[in-house]
Structure 1
């Protein structure tokens, strides 16, 4: 009996390793909800101001989503389209070790490093002097990272793609010349692709010390999940205490997204054959289908609120400030399911975060405007949840840009923002059942944003 006990237990725990690995990969949509994934839904002028002022600047169609109350102060209909390109950078320095304490093979690429486009469209139509309607298409969450499947940190993640697109309708009511309120409803579509590499040999060695070589029988796990439509709401108010000052407050609700889709496993025949034996070896283990199966995970985008202030110093100079709060602390637990089975229940430890920014406009003449701003954006991540997919840290923001008014109807804006991030430490240890690898070091992070906007005032 003793002769056969170890192979039997080895198969059992290799299956358990793969089962938990599937669940861990499905957990990534929540882990990925870091500050780096929340995108300001601004136009080029907003990015140039380091996101200060929200939509309080005159006749800004982003108000249709950011703060609908500002729409009631429009004098004429307006349509605006923005294309924003965002390029995060994250270069790892440090070491990744297998369960034996040897350096993991592979290179160390920058998993980001390319510009990713995000659109933003808004329109506002004043119906009369006290009522206005608007709509917007925005991307409040999105990121793309791509490490090759041979990089040294492959057991902590390879490819990640996430995008949430909002389509919204809103209305504004001016109660008097100084105060207005606005409300809106949104539909959100979310999709995610998350890939990682599994090491069954490392798992067996971590648990039993069996003489297996880590990394020889790797399996590639790919997960694709999405939610076609989820609903949320938002609202705001605008108050003008003086002729030179404007105050705004806005709130956007949490949106509950139950993502569903499938997973697939790619690799050698040995690993796949073990998958089919898992339920036979231990009925308590979830069934992991080597040919793929359904997958689901909860991805709730958090509520957030902003307080904005705008002051006109002269006909040429206008300054603004913003404080934005995001309720990341609502992420407490994640339950992962496949084929009606609970794969895993994971605790989360995110914290609420704040954005602080100051910026403004200076009109050179009737055609040209220069803009600039600075800001500080906290991260909700911590040393426990931070990983190569989202090596996020607190960011210092610096923006500048230009605006050009072609005529009374057409204007263009160009904005640039650079995000300075201090070296972000990462200290990770995979559970023994996942292979027991370690990652110890830091990511040198930064970000660049280039945005171009065209606006037509009717």
Structure 2
């Protein structure tokens, strides 16, 4: 049985490469640490409790000890079950498999104080990822049978403590992106050409650069505010478009059925976060988060042939037409004793998908609400273990994507979706 898994995203040779579908809205991955899961990532740019602050706000390194390392892993289990309600699939039929399964998302960070006010750090993570795999054939196979996005992000960073109240941070990001897209060529055959049993498969990749900045303000001993910004990353992916099955033998007559080089341009969105933490007493602390993601950078995504007799023509356009989104999160911490802290959180996360007509079968995304709980154990003065769990409620998700004019059928129906996230983060000062 084929599944949709969550994020095949990992740091270079230090960690094993994993795979899967995004747990945040769109194909964004919030699981850049596991220590934030218990608070639904509330306060992400202000907490600075371990070296994973490098991703959320590099200025937070000034709140750490002289040398710190943090390693984490999140296990994510999405479920996306499609129910057909009047689709037009020609020779294609069926709802496909439940598109969810367990997968792992690791991360790693290192922070090092060069002197009392200047810190150097590096992070390994994957901010975007997606795999949607419906199985061999279903009613929407001509729109997508499998869609996969992988990113690996390496983030060298610097932080400077300006004074006791203000810290600044900056980072550069080398990011590798790989994408794979596979579908049945058409919902029916064209004369002797077996389109409904042949596949088109796109495989492309690219390396690109981005940057991020942040600031952390200590307004009082009990109040911190953090702001951070991560830039867009413009990927110009190149690879090939392969035709397989009986249709491939007709490529000499119709160059659209030939294997060819291909290119795809996509601009991954920028993000802005403002966060706060507020100690209410010796035991209680409140956290808040408001974040914006510029998903409108992802509009129509043309797949362009880059070789052969019809080089320069568009093989297909993925019509995403995303909108910008907001996410709001609230969290609380309760200090149970010197060794244990309990974490709670709730969040609302908007989808970039505008409506059911523009919802892609490769990304059956919808708004989601996070319910989170976790705990932090101080193993020793310099060692900390964080554990967290989240359940993401996703309402019934309608789709009515009509691509009949292009021979790819009309997918009309409803998804029943949810996500579970479990995570652990181990942080050590030395």
* TM-score, reference length from structure 1: 0.83
TM-fit CA distance, 1:57: 2.2
The one-character-per-residue Cα deviations of 1:213-255 (angstroms, maximum 9, x if unpaired) are 998742111111111x211000011111111100010000000
Name which of 253, 274, 279 aligns with 1:277: 253
> Which residue in the other structure is 1:14 paired with?
none
Q: How does 1:381-400 map to 2 (within 5 A)?
A: 381-382=353-354, 383-400=356-373
Name which of 277, 288, 293 aligns with 1:326: 293
Name which of 128, 136, 150 aligns with 1:149: 136
Matched residues in 2 for 1:107 and 1:359: separation?
A: 38
Does residue 80 (structure 1) correspond to residue 80 (structure 2)? The answer is no
The one-character-per-residue Cα deviations of 1:353-374 (angstroms, maximum 9, x if unpaired) are 0110001221211111111100
Does structure 1 retain, via aligned residues, the 8 Å contact 2:39–2:346?
Answer: yes
Name which of 259, 263, 275 aligns with 1:308: 275
Does residue 123 (structure 1) correspond to residue 110 (structure 2)? The answer is yes
Alignment partner of 2:35: what SS? helix
Does structure 2 retain, via aligned residues, the 8 Å contact 1:116–1:144?
Answer: no
Matched residues in 2 for 1:194 and 1:348: separation?
A: 15
Residue 183 and residue 217 in structure 1: after superposition, are their counterparts in 2 closer, same or farther (change >3 A)? closer
> Which residue in the other structure is 1:138 paired with?
125
The one-character-per-residue Cα deviations of 1:244-301 (angstroms, maximum 9, x if unpaired) are 1000100000001111111212212xx22332212xxxxxxxx3353x2211101221
Residue 34 and residue 369 in structure 1: after superposition, are their counterparts in 2 closer, same or farther (change >3 A)? closer
TM-fit CA distance, 1:344: 5.4
Matched residues in 2 for 1:98 and 1:54: separation?
A: 45
Does residue 222 (structure 1) correspond to residue 194 (structure 2)? The answer is no
* TM-score, reference length from structure 2: 0.88
TM-fit CA distance, 1:333: 4.1
Larger % of helix: which? 1
Name which of 426, 429, 438 aligns with 2:399: 426
Matched residues in 2 for 1:353 and 1:256: separation?
A: 19
TM-fit CA distance, 1:432: 2.4
Does residue 239 (structure 1) correspond to residue 217 (structure 2)? The answer is yes
**What stretches of structure 1 of length at least 5 have no aligned partner?**
1-31, 205-211, 279-286
Alignment partner of 1:277: what SS? coil
> Which residue in the other structure is 1:110 paired with?
98
Does residue 256 (structure 1) correspond to residue 234 (structure 2)? The answer is yes
Alignment partner of 1:423: what SS? strand
Does structure 2 retain, via aligned residues, the 8 Å contact 1:82–1:452?
Answer: yes
**What stretches of structure 2 of length at least 5 have no aligned partner?**
1-21
Does structure 2 retain, via aligned residues, the 8 Å contact 1:304–1:325?
Answer: yes
Does residue 182 (structure 1) correspond to residue 169 (structure 2)? The answer is yes
Matched residues in 2 for 1:365 and 1:201: separation?
A: 66
> Which residue in the other structure is 2:256 paired with?
288
Residue 455 and residue 33 in structure 1: after superposition, are their counterparts in 2 closer, same or farther (change >3 A)? closer
Does residue 158 (structure 1) correspond to residue 158 (structure 2)? The answer is no
Name which of 51, 58, 80 aligns with 1:61: 51
Matched residues in 2 for 1:262 and 1:344: separation?
A: 12
TM-fit CA distance, 1:410: 1.6
User: Quick check: 178-187 or 60-69, which moved more?
Assistant: 60-69
Alignment partner of 2:213: what SS? strand
Does residue 364 (structure 1) correspond to residue 336 (structure 2)? The answer is yes
